[in-house]
Amino acid sequence: MSKIEITKEEYEKVKHLIEKENRKYESLEDMKGGIVFIRTVTFYYTGRIKNIVGQFIHLEDACWIPDTGRFANFMQGTPTDTLETEPMGETFVNIDSVIDISPYKQLFLEQK
Protein backbone atom coordinates (compact mmCIF):
# COMPACT_ATOMS: atom_id res chain seq x y z
CA MET A 1 0.00 0.00 0.00
CA SER A 2 1.29 3.46 -0.92
CA LYS A 3 1.82 6.13 1.69
CA ILE A 4 0.80 9.74 1.04
CA GLU A 5 1.69 12.63 3.31
CA ILE A 6 -0.72 15.55 3.71
CA THR A 7 -0.79 18.67 5.83
CA LYS A 8 -2.97 19.03 8.90
CA GLU A 9 -5.21 21.48 7.00
CA GLU A 10 -5.67 19.00 4.15
CA TYR A 11 -6.48 16.26 6.64
CA GLU A 12 -9.16 18.43 8.29
CA LYS A 13 -10.82 18.85 4.87
CA VAL A 14 -10.93 15.09 4.13
CA LYS A 15 -11.09 13.41 7.53
CA HIS A 16 -14.86 12.90 7.18
CA LEU A 17 -14.08 10.57 4.27
CA ILE A 18 -11.73 8.51 6.43
CA GLU A 19 -13.17 8.55 9.93
CA LYS A 20 -16.53 7.10 10.82
CA GLU A 21 -18.71 9.83 12.25
CA ASN A 22 -19.89 8.85 15.70
CA ARG A 23 -21.35 12.06 17.02
CA LYS A 24 -24.14 12.86 19.44
CA TYR A 25 -26.50 15.65 18.51
CA GLU A 26 -28.62 17.69 20.88
CA SER A 27 -29.26 20.70 18.64
CA LEU A 28 -28.93 21.82 15.06
CA GLU A 29 -25.78 23.74 16.03
CA ASP A 30 -24.20 20.42 17.13
CA MET A 31 -24.64 19.13 13.58
CA LYS A 32 -22.35 21.75 12.04
CA GLY A 33 -19.61 20.02 10.08
CA GLY A 34 -21.53 16.75 9.97
CA ILE A 35 -22.99 14.96 6.97
CA VAL A 36 -26.79 15.01 7.04
CA PHE A 37 -29.86 13.87 5.17
CA ILE A 38 -32.58 16.54 5.12
CA ARG A 39 -36.21 15.92 4.22
CA THR A 40 -38.18 19.03 3.36
CA VAL A 41 -41.84 19.25 2.46
CA THR A 42 -40.91 18.83 -1.21
CA PHE A 43 -37.26 17.70 -1.57
CA TYR A 44 -34.48 15.50 -0.16
CA TYR A 45 -30.91 16.73 0.32
CA THR A 46 -27.62 15.36 1.58
CA GLY A 47 -24.63 17.50 2.43
CA ARG A 48 -22.37 18.81 5.13
CA ILE A 49 -23.75 21.58 7.35
CA LYS A 50 -21.40 24.50 6.92
CA ASN A 51 -23.38 27.02 8.92
CA ILE A 52 -26.79 28.07 10.21
CA VAL A 53 -27.61 31.52 8.84
CA GLY A 54 -30.84 32.99 10.20
CA GLN A 55 -33.61 30.68 9.01
CA PHE A 56 -31.35 28.80 6.57
CA ILE A 57 -29.10 25.77 6.77
CA HIS A 58 -26.03 26.36 4.61
CA LEU A 59 -25.02 23.02 3.04
CA GLU A 60 -21.74 22.37 1.26
CA ASP A 61 -21.13 19.31 -0.91
CA ALA A 62 -24.92 19.37 -1.24
CA CYS A 63 -26.88 16.98 -3.38
CA TRP A 64 -30.56 16.96 -4.33
CA ILE A 65 -32.05 13.47 -4.40
CA PRO A 66 -35.33 13.12 -6.30
CA ASP A 67 -36.17 9.68 -4.86
CA THR A 68 -34.38 7.61 -2.20
CA GLY A 69 -35.85 4.28 -3.27
CA ARG A 70 -36.37 2.03 -0.23
CA PHE A 71 -36.01 4.57 2.54
CA ALA A 72 -34.68 2.15 5.19
CA ASN A 73 -31.94 0.90 2.86
CA PHE A 74 -31.02 4.46 1.90
CA MET A 75 -30.74 5.54 5.54
CA GLN A 76 -28.56 2.50 6.35
CA GLY A 77 -26.14 3.67 3.65
CA THR A 78 -27.07 1.06 1.03
CA PRO A 79 -29.11 2.96 -1.57
CA THR A 80 -30.36 1.16 -4.66
CA ASP A 81 -28.29 1.10 -7.84
CA THR A 82 -30.98 3.20 -9.51
CA LEU A 83 -30.56 6.10 -7.06
CA GLU A 84 -30.52 9.45 -8.88
CA THR A 85 -28.32 12.20 -7.49
CA GLU A 86 -27.91 15.82 -8.58
CA PRO A 87 -24.85 17.44 -6.92
CA MET A 88 -25.37 21.14 -6.24
CA GLY A 89 -22.17 22.26 -4.52
CA GLU A 90 -23.52 24.73 -1.97
CA THR A 91 -27.14 25.50 -1.20
CA PHE A 92 -29.29 27.04 1.51
CA VAL A 93 -32.29 25.12 2.86
CA ASN A 94 -35.04 27.07 4.62
CA ILE A 95 -35.49 25.67 8.14
CA ASP A 96 -39.24 26.31 7.95
CA SER A 97 -39.51 23.73 5.13
CA VAL A 98 -37.59 21.00 7.00
CA ILE A 99 -39.49 17.90 8.15
CA ASP A 100 -36.48 16.17 9.69
CA ILE A 101 -32.67 16.06 9.65
CA SER A 102 -30.71 12.86 10.22
CA PRO A 103 -26.99 12.16 10.41
CA TYR A 104 -25.88 10.39 7.24
CA LYS A 105 -22.80 8.40 6.27
CA GLN A 106 -21.87 9.62 2.82
CA LEU A 107 -21.84 12.48 0.38
CA PHE A 108 -22.94 12.19 -3.25
CA LEU A 109 -20.49 14.29 -5.23
CA GLU A 110 -21.18 12.83 -8.69
CA GLN A 111 -24.34 12.86 -10.75
CA LYS A 112 -26.05 9.51 -11.23
- How confident is the model over 57-98, as pLDDT tens digits? 999 999 999 999 899 999 998 888 888 999 999 999 999 999
Per-chain mean pLDDT for the chain: 87
User: Does residue 12 carry a pLDDT above 90?
Assistant: no
Each as own residue / partner, the long-range contacts of residues 57-62 (CB below 8 Å, 24 or more positions apart, any chain) are 57/28, 57/92, 57/93, 57/95, 57/98, 57/101, 58/90, 58/91, 58/92, 59/90, 59/91, 59/92, 59/93, 60/89, 60/90, 61/87, 61/89, 61/107, 61/109, 62/87, 62/88, 62/89, 62/90, 62/91
Domains in the chain, start-ordered, CATH in brackets? Answer: 32-112 (2.30.30.100)
Supply the pLDDT for residue 112.
79
Structure pTM? 0.76
Instruction: Measure the CA–CA gap between 12 and 82, rounded to whole angstroms.
Output: 32
